[in-house]
Amino acid sequence: MPPAPGPDQVALILCFHCHQPVGNFDDVIDQACARAYVPLLEAVAARPWLRCCLHVSGVLLSWAAARRPDLLQLIRTLAGRGQIELLTGGFYEPILPILPEPDRLGQIRRLSCFLHEQFGVEPRGLWLTERVWEPTLPRALAAAGVEYLVTDDYHFLRAGLQEEELGGYYVTEEQGTAVRVFPGSEALRYLIPFQAPEQVLRHLRDGLSRGARLAVFADDGEKFGVWPGTFEHVYRDGWLARFLDALEASRDWLTTITFSEWLAAVPPLGRVYLPTASYRELGEWALPAASAQAYVAFVEEQRALPSWATRRAFMQGGFWRSFLAKYPESNDLHKRMLRTSEKVNRAFPPGSPAHEALYRGQCNDGYWHGVFGGLYLPHLRSVLHRALIEAERTADLALRGPGPWIEAEQRDLDADGEPELLIATPLLSLALQPHRGGMLYELDDRSRAFNLLATLTRRPEAYHAKLAQAAQDESEERARTIHERVVAKEAGLERHLVYDAYRRTALLDHFLEPATTIHAFAVGAYEELGDFVTGPYEAAVEQPEEGGRNGVRVRLRRTGHVRVPNAGPGQSWALTVTKTLHARAERAGFSVRYELVGEDRVVDRPRAPGGGARLTADPSLCLFAVEVNLAMLGGQAPDRYYELPGHLLAARHLASTGETPDVEEVRVVDESLDLGVALRCAPACRLWRLPVETVSLSEEGFERVYQVRVPGDFLEFQVSHWQR
C-alpha cells in the first residue's frame, strides 16, 4: 500500500464507471467492450505502477460473463495484482433512493456477491448511480456493507463547503449510521480526456498549491472510446498513452491511489450533510423544457463572470425525482415497479427468480432522459416493462395458484390524487384513467410479458432549440464531451418537431371536422370539436358473474359538449359518450362498446358521407374517431407490419401512413415476438394508420425515434399468438 502523499505531493484517484442498459443491443455492448472497456483496462495493465478504481454494473458483468469472458479475465488479473479496487452498487444500476428499502439492500448485495464469486474481493465502496444522493441513504448503504461512496463535488458545494476544502473525504450519517463520502471533481470530468494531458496536470498542480492533497476523477468509461470521436482521440491519436506517460513522469509529486488506500492512510476532513443532489448537468435535464432553457441561459450568463467559481454552487436546477413529474410514462413505470416490488417481496424471500426480474425492471436508463436516448428509446422502456410483468406474473402464480381469475380495483395507482382502474387476469392487465378521458394507458399481454401501451408522448425538450445549430456543428470532428456536442443524424429534423396536446395512449375519443385529413391529424393541425379526449369520465365497475371470476364490465360515461361547425359561433350540443369495456378471465382480449347519446336519442353512427356520428338533424357531420397508440417496436422492420383482411396495402410496415375505408379488422403483427394484435370494428370504419416519431438527443446527436398509433373506431381488441 503506498503511503499517504507528503505535503508537496497530491494523490489522484482514477475511478472508471462502466455500464450498459438492460435491453441494449448485443452488438452495441460488444462494440463498447472493443472500443472502450478492454483497451482502457489493457492500458492500465501495461503500467503496473498505476492504481485505479473500477465500477462495472452487474448488467455489463453478467453480459460479459456470457459473451466477453476476456473482459472478466482482464478485471480478474488486475484485481488479483491489487492494481484496481472494485466498487459495488445496485446490480442493475438503479436509482437507489427511489427503490423500496428491501430492494436497495438486495441490489447492492447481489453485486457484492457477484464480485466476490468472480474476483475474490469484498468491495468496500459503492458507485452511486447518476450520483443521485438523498440524505436517507446512509442507513441502507451501511446495512449492505458499504463503507464509502463517491459523489460529485457539486454535492459538497451545495452543502456550503469551498473548493479548497474538498481535498479528501467526509463522514455523513443518518440517525447515527455513518458512511464516508468522496467528492469527484467536475473540472476533471471535463478535462479528461478532452484536453491535453499537460492541462490536466496543470490543474492538479494548481490544486496542490491551494493545499488540496487529493483529487478524484470519477466518470464514465464510455468516454474512453464510445462517445463520438473519442476512440480515435483516445487511442489512435494517443491521448491515453500520453496522459499515462505524463502521470508516470510526475511521480515525484503525483501518485495514483485507490479509495481504500486513502481511507487507511488519512483521517476524514470532518462531518458533512449533503443535500438532495446529483451532478450539476442532471439538474438541467430534470427541469421542464421552458425552465431548462431559462436555467441554461442563466448558467451561461454566470459562467462568463469572474465570480462563476464561487457562484456555481448555487446553480441548482431540478433533481432526479422531477423526471417522474416531467414524464408521466416514467412515473407509470416507477409506480408499477413499486406495486410489483410489494407483491414479489410478499411472495418470495430475497434471491428468487422473481426478484431477479424485479431488479432488472429497476435499471435506471429507461426512467429518464438527458443527453442519451434513455426514456425515448422504445426498446429500453419495453424491456423494463417486460421484466416487471414477468416478476408480477411469477408472484401472482405463487400467491394465487394456477387457474383462471380476474380482479378489478379502483385506487390511485400513479399517486396523482385521483383513482385509476386496474383489471387483471392471468392473461391480461389493463389500467385506465377515468379522470383523463377514460383512457387506457396500460395493456399487458402477460403471457409474453409485453406492454402494448408503453408509448411516449411528443413533448418539447429544451435542446430542441439547438437544432438550427446542428448543421453547423456537424462538420466538426474533434472529440468533445457529449454536453457540448450538437449534431443532427439527418437533415430537416426540425420539421418533425410536433408536440401532442394529450398523452398518446388508447381509447381516446375525438370529434373532428369532416374535412380533417390524416396529415392534419398527424401534425396536430386540426380542431378538436369535443371535450372528451382529456375530460373526466364517471366510472362504474360491474362483476355480473359469480364472484367476478369470469368477467368484469367497466362503464365509463361522460356528458360533454361538441361544437357542430355550422351551428353558429359559441354554440355546442350536449352529448353523452359511454364506453363499456368487458374482460373475461379466460380470454386474451377484451371488447369495448361505444354508445353516443344526444338530443335524448341514441346516435347509431349512420354510414354518412365521410363516416361519423350525426349529432342533430342538421346536415353537418362530426367525425367520431377512437385513437389507439400501440408501442410496437421497429417501424421499418420487414417482420413487423399491418394486415387488413380484404384490403391490399401498398406499404404495410409499421412506419407507413395510410387511410383505408370500410375496415372491419386491422392486425398489427410482430413476428419476432410471436405477437399479433387484432382490432375488430363493427360496423366497419375508416382507418387511419400513421407513425408517431419523436425527436430526441442521444450521444450520437439528434435523431427520430419511431412509435406507432392507430386511430379508428373498434369494438373488440384481441391479443393472440401469431402464426404465419
CATH number of the domain that 242 lies in?
A: 3.20.110.20
* Of residues 573 and 404, more confidently modeled: 404
In the prediction, which pLDDT does 535 show?
Answer: 97
In the prediction, which pLDDT does 546 show?
Answer: 54
> 541 is written with which cell numbers?
365497475
In this structure, are residues 469 and 683 in contact, taking their beta carbons and an 8 Å threshold? no
Burial class of residue 20 in the structure, from the number of CB atoms within 10 Å of its CB (0-12 exposed, 13-18 middle, 19+ buried): buried
Per-residue pLDDT band at 721 (split at 50, 70, 90): very low
Instruction: Say whether the peptide bond before residue 683 is cis (omega within 30 degrees of 0).
Output: yes
The three state secondary structure string of 311-379 is HHHHCCCCCCCHHHHHCHHHHHHHHHHHHHHHHHHHHCCCCCHHHHHHHHCCCHHHHCCCCCCHHHCHH
- Greatest mean pLDDT among 68-77, 292-301, 400-409 lies in 68-77
In this structure, are residues 664 and 681 in contact, taking their beta carbons and an 8 Å threshold? yes
CA distance 340 to 647: 42
Domain end marker among 278, 310, 341: 278
220 flagged as catalytic: yes
CB atoms within 10 A of CB 565: 14
Domain end marker among 229, 254, 278: 278
In this structure, are residues 699 and 223 in contact, taking their beta carbons and an 8 Å threshold? no
> What is the CA 572 to chain-centroid distance, rounded?
42
Task: Please provide residue 182's backbone torsions phi and psi, each rounded to the nearest 5 degrees.
Answer: -100, 140
In this structure, are residues 539 and 434 in contact, taking their beta carbons and an 8 Å threshold? yes
In the prediction, which pLDDT does 549 show?
Answer: 58
- Residue 669's nearest CA partner among 522, 388, 452 is 452
* Tally of domains in the chain: 2
- Residues 548-564 have a mean pLDDT of 85
Placement of cell 429500453 in the chain: 380
In a domain, 515, yes or no: yes
- Residues 392-412 have a mean pLDDT of 94
- Residues 126-140 have a mean pLDDT of 97
In a domain, 516, yes or no: yes
**Residue 209 DSSP label:** H
pLDDT digits (tens, 9 = 90+) for 561-613: 988 766 556 677 888 999 999 999 988 889 999 988 876 444 444 333 333 44
Look over the chain and give the mean of its residue pLDDT values, rounded to a whole number.
87
Task: Pick the range with the lowest mean pLDDT from 148-162, 438-452, 496-510, 585-599.
Answer: 585-599
**DSSP code per residue over 602-643:** EE-----TT--B--SSSS--BEEEEEEEE--S-TT-TTEEEE
In the prediction, which pLDDT does 700 show?
Answer: 55
Per-residue pLDDT band at 548 (split at 50, 70, 90): low
Domain of residue 551, residue span: 419-431+493-721
Placement of cell 474476483 in the chain: 119
> 19 is written with which cell numbers?
455500464
In the prediction, which pLDDT does 360 show?
Answer: 98
Q: Which of 147, 186, 220, 545 is catalytic?
A: 220
CA distance 149 to 474: 38
Is the pLDDT reported for residue 717 higher than 50?
Answer: no
- Residue 516's nearest CA partner among 423, 419, 622 is 622
* Dihedral angle sign, alpha carbons of residues 443, 446, 448, 450: positive
**Residue 271 pairs with which residues in a beta bridge?**
171
> 409 is written with which cell numbers?
380495483
Contacts within 8 Å (CB) and 24+ apart, 70-79: 70/38, 71/33, 71/37, 71/38, 71/41, 72/118, 74/38, 74/41, 74/42, 74/45, 75/41, 75/118, 75/119, 76/118, 76/119, 77/45, 78/41, 78/44, 78/45, 78/54, 79/119, 79/120, 79/121
> 152 is written with which cell numbers?
460529485
**Residue 170 pairs with which residues in a beta bridge?**
181
In the prediction, which pLDDT does 187 show?
Answer: 94
In a domain, 35, yes or no: yes
Instruction: Say whether the peptide bond before residue 419 is cis (omega within 30 degrees of 0).
Output: no
The three state secondary structure string of 511-545 is EECCCCCHHHHHHCCCCECECCCCCCCEEEEECCC
In the prediction, which pLDDT does 709 show?
Answer: 45
130 flagged as catalytic: yes
In a domain, 393, yes or no: no
pLDDT digits (tens, 9 = 90+) for 621-671: 688 899 999 988 777 788 889 999 999 888 888 888 899 999 999 998 888
In this structure, are residues 392 and 422 in contact, taking their beta carbons and an 8 Å threshold? no
Task: Pick the range with the lowest mean pLDDT from 244-253, 318-327, 659-668.
Answer: 659-668
Is the pLDDT reported for residue 509 higher than 80?
Answer: yes
Query: How far from each other are the two terminal CA atoms of the chain, in whole angstroms?
Result: 65
Domain end marker among 278, 308, 323: 278
In the prediction, which pLDDT does 598 show?
Answer: 79
In a domain, 472, yes or no: no
Residue 473 DSSP SS3: helix
**DSSP code per residue over 471-520:** HHHTT--S---TTT---BSSTTGGGG----SS---EEEEEEE-TT--HHH
In one-letter notation, the amino acid at residue 578 is T
CA distance 452 to 629: 8
Percent of the chain with pLDDT over 70: 87
In the prediction, which pLDDT does 607 show?
Answer: 34
In a domain, 680, yes or no: yes
In a domain, 683, yes or no: yes
- Residues 168-174 have a mean pLDDT of 97
Per-residue pLDDT band at 620 (split at 50, 70, 90): very low
In the prediction, which pLDDT does 674 show?
Answer: 84
- Residues 50-61 have a mean pLDDT of 98
In the prediction, which pLDDT does 573 show?
Answer: 80
Placement of cell 494523490 in the chain: 11
In a domain, 468, yes or no: no
**Bridge pairing between strands 214-220 and 84-86:** unpaired
In this structure, are residues 710 and 452 in contact, taking their beta carbons and an 8 Å threshold? no
**DSSP code per residue over 649-692:** -S--BTT--EEEEEEEEEEEEEGGGTEEEEEEEEEEEEEEEB--
Task: Pick the range with the lowest mean pLDDT from 365-369, 372-376, 561-565.
Answer: 561-565
Give the CATH number, domain containing residue 575. Answer: 2.70.98.10
CB atoms within 10 A of CB 229: 15
In the prediction, which pLDDT does 496 show?
Answer: 74
